[in-house]
Amino acid sequence: MFEDFLNSFAKSFEGKNPLISQVLANVFSMRVFGNKTHGDLAGIALTEYINEHVDGYSAKHTGKETFRAKVNEEDIRVTNDKTKKSLPISIKTYGVGPLQLSTNKASTMFNYLSEVVKDQEIIDRNKIQEILSYAPFAEFDQVNVLPLIYDEKEQKFKIILFNLDKAYKSVRIIKFLNPRKIGKKMTFPIYKFYGDNDQYIFEVRYGGAGANALQRGMWTHTEHASPFFRELLSDSYQINEPLLSLMTKILVAPKIKHELLLKEFSQIKDPT
């Protein structure tokens, strides 16, 4: 179902100057307000975009509600209007480089590797596939990850997808990396997964009680693991200064002005 949705999603931004490019430019512009702001708004923006521009699908933003419930790893839930079936989607807004595929808050992946792999190196293919068949890894394909990757310096972005099935089938080595000291701080332990010719694929980071978001879960790298990504769209963007000014004004405007703005938006037929 995720693949069917992606086909409709990609079809919505075919042609010259697709609206999705402006939508994502607006999202990435929000980084001016803070490092996390754009990530939260991406889910809201894509929900609205899907409802208005992706034929056959509707969406609901569930990020905050799901976070409080701590049940699913998702930001939006998309429903096929015909079949009424729905699927969760986790939206990742990251700069070029390291990409967190899953927070794995329960630390089940790392804990399992600690018991089975320990501080060794695994090269036996049967053992590797046995490890990847363990529930936390096998069930990860139920998390539909949609990464929105941006390069602030070059002001470019891309929508890419990590091919988990290809990644799992390509693993040839699992290596344990000991913590090491960088400056005054110690790094966290990592299990890295490689393919043929030491091709980096992904890694599982420490996820103990003291771990923050950067120190836990499954991670990959948008450049080092490029053979395992599929690109849906790439484009350039500019910071939307009028939007930033509008946001500051909206925050100190009364409700009646917000209502008037919404009426104006509803009358816009061709958003260019």
Residue 20 placed within a domain: yes
Residue 259 placed within a domain: yes
Q: Are 205 and 216 in contact (CB under 8 A)?
A: yes
Residue 204 placed within a domain: yes
Q: 62: closest CA among 15, 263, 71?
A: 71
Inform me whether the pLDDT recorded for 79 exceeds 90. Answer: yes
**pLDDT of amino acid 268:** 66
Q: 110: burial class by Cβ within 10 Å (0-12, 13-18, 19+)? A: buried
Residue 175 placed within a domain: yes
User: Percent of the chain at pLDDT above 70?
Assistant: 90
Residue ranges making up the domain that contains 14? 2-266
pTM: 0.86
- List, for residues 59-68, the tens digit of each pLDDT value: 999 865 554 4
**pLDDT of amino acid 139:** 85
Residue 271 placed within a domain: no
**pLDDT of amino acid 265:** 81
- List, for residues 232-272, the tens digit of each pLDDT value: 999 999 999 999 999 999 999 999 999 998 888 877 655 55
Mean pLDDT along residues 174-182: 84
Comparing 201 with 267, the larger pLDDT belongs to 201
Residue 272 placed within a domain: no
Q: How many domains does the chain have?
A: 1
What is the DSSP code string of 202-263? EEEE---TT--GGGSEEEEETTTTGGGEEEEEEEE----HHHHHHHHHHHTS-HHHHHHHHH
The β-bridge partners of 156 are 151, 236
**pLDDT of amino acid 267:** 74
Mean pLDDT along residues 98-119: 90
Mean pLDDT along residues 27-38: 83
Q: 41: closest CA among 15, 63, 18?
A: 63
Q: Are 43 and 84 in contact (CB under 8 A)?
A: no
Please count the residues of the chain.
272
Q: What does the mean pLDDT of the chain come to?
A: 88
Residue 110 placed within a domain: yes
In whole angstroms, give the CA distance from residue 5 to residue 80: 8
**β-strand pairing of 190-194 with 173-177:** antiparallel
